[in-house]
Amino acid sequence: MSLQAVRGTRDIFGPEMSAWHRAEQIFRSVTDAFSYSEFRTPMFESTELFKRGIGEDTDVVGKEMYTFEDRGGDSLTLRPEMTAPIVRAMIEHSYLRHHPTTRLWYAGPQFRYDRPQKGRYRQFHQFGAECIGSPYPESDVEVILLANEVLQRVGITKYTLELNSLGTADVRLAYRTALVEYLTSNADGLSVDSQRRITTNPLRVLDSKEERDRAIISGAPLLSSFLDEASSAHLAAVRALLDVAGVSYVMNPLLVRGLDYYNHTVFEFTTNELGTQNAIGGGGRYDPLFAMLGGGDVPAVGFSIGIERLLLLYEAEHGGWGESSINGVYVCAIGDAALLPVHVLAARLRKRGLHVVTDVMRRSVKAQMKDANREQVRWVVMIGEDELAQGTAVVKNMESGEQRTIAQHELESVLL
């Protein structure tokens, strides 16, 4: 049997890789513009972190984690998301003592044992940001604007920002009671999964995509009618700030997000272009999380965007991964005498920071020119016996086709 990548994982290469590089560049420049610093945490953590942080009754912890015992008998889990690890790190390093308002971003692989399909993988990548320390709606909107700026700069347009408020813990408790009552009295019509969630995680029933559940959900009480004054004021301020920023959004009263740690603002960027995997990214305020992990009372808000889905949406909207840039120089040897000098010249140009390709297959000039086309270089520099004797080189501009002979010591001034 031939060896293959594990189900739900994928290799990234070729033109798609160029699209990743462009996206990663955008993550860096947008986070820099918003003054967010990069933070990297380990790929695996103690299982306890996710159980406590995300909640045992969530899908992620209940059925999607890659959990294993290491040789020392410790239970470890490949990270399924980044917020709990970042909060763990903030607490561990007493980071907030020196940085009361902390702005961080991250990008990297996450692991969930999900049913693989287009846009849903078992190893996928997220880009995200967290604004830690502020209870105010300004920080909610700051992270939404950051995410929105990334989506726009990547060049996608066919998405919607959906917004909702989960209110405070008290609000959710009162709502939960009303919702459980309603769902219990309609349990017969619900799917098996949703019936189970009535006791484990009733708010998640609102997320269900099952046809039979949708009809019942449409008659369920709405969290918005349970919001207290402070929660309503917080939501109103978020909306007002989005309005002045000129960012459009729709209110989605059924948006709950899957994890236990959210309160007040929750949001999602959705699209109709990717079939059932319609969420490109999402996030919200997670004031309870620090306390859940033993870090005291620290308000925070953040989001994460799935990089695969972001790029799939780009591909769907643009019909491809986009052009890779034409760049650099191909140094071509004409005849055996030029083999060594070409490599000396290539080394000299690389030291000046140029992207340089040479032939390592001892091919004909014709084959080297074909190779240069494939490599999408801007210039070809040719050196043969005549050029060696005269200290010159033939320089060809691959875009215009124009070709001329210049002194070798002038090469940098033309190519750089």
Contact set with ligand AMP (CB under 6 A): 81, 112, 114, 120-121, 124, 126, 279-282, 304, 306, 308-309
Helices (H) and strands (E) in the chain, counts: 16, 16
Q: Retrieve residue 235's tokens.
A: 């939501």
CB of 145 to ligand AMP, least distance (A): 18
**Cα 9 vs. chain centroid, distance in angstroms?**
16
Closest to ligand AMP by CB, 112 or 378: 112
Shortest approach of ligand AMP to residue 162 CB, angstroms? 11
Q: Which is nearer to ligand AMP, 36 or 111 (CB)?
A: 111
Of residues 121 and 290, the one with the C-beta less far from ligand AMP: 121
Report in angstroms how near the CB of residue 314 gets to ligand AMP at its nearest: 13
Nearer to ligand AMP, 130 or 308 (CB): 308
Q: What distance in Å separates the CA atoms of residue 123 and residue 8, rounded to the nearest whole number? A: 7
Closest distance between ligand AMP and the C-beta of residue 149, in Å?
Answer: 17
E strands within 184-333? Answer: 250-251, 263-270, 279-285, 300-306, 329-333
Q: Can you tell me the distance from the alpha carbon of 360 to that of 370, in angstroms, rounded to the nearest whole number? A: 14
Question: Does residue 404 sit in helix, strand or coil?
Answer: strand
**Please, is 14 exposed, middle or buried when counting C-beta atoms within 10 Å of its C-beta (0-12, 13-18, 19+)?**
exposed
Q: Which is nearer to ligand AMP, 95 or 113 (CB)?
A: 113
End-to-end Cα, the chain, rounded Å: 50
Token pair, residue 167, equals: 């209110």
Q: Which residue, 36 or 124, is less far from ligand AMP as judged by CB?
A: 124
Select the residue whose beta carbon is closest to ligand AMP and give its number. Answer: 306
- 3-state DSSP assignment of residue 371: helix
Q: How far is the CB of 306 from ligand AMP (least distance, A)?
A: 2
Tokens of 160: 């919607």
Residue 162 makes CB contacts below 8 A (sequence gap 6+) with 249, 250, 251, 252, 255, 267, 268, 269, 270
CB nearer to ligand AMP: pick between 270 and 368: 270
Q: What is the nearest approach in angstroms of ligand AMP to the Cβ of residue 266? A: 10
Q: Cα-flanking dihedrals φ and ψ of residue 64, to 5°?
A: -115, 0
**AA identity, residue 208:** S
Q: Are 191 and 212 in contact (CB under 8 A)?
A: yes
Cβ nearer to ligand AMP, comparing 208 with 392: 208
Rounded Cα distance between 264 and 272, Å, is 26
Closer to ligand AMP by Cβ: residue 129 or 342: 129
Least distance from C-beta 283 to ligand AMP, angstroms? 7
Buried b (16+ CB within 10 A) or exposed e, 88-111: bbbbeeebbeeeeebbbbbbeebb
List Cα–Cα distances, 141 to 13, 136, 236, 246, in angstroms. 35, 9, 12, 12
Q: Tell me if 412 sits within 8 A of 345, measured CB to CB.
A: no
Residues shown for the chain: 416
Q: How far is the CB of 412 from ligand AMP (least distance, A)?
A: 45
Least separation, in Å, of the C-beta of 310 and ligand AMP? 7
Q: Please, what is the minimum distance in Å from the beta carbon of residue 309 to ligand AMP?
A: 4
Is the CB of 271 or the CB of 392 nearer to ligand AMP? 271
What's the alpha-carbon Rg for the chain, to the nearest Å? 27
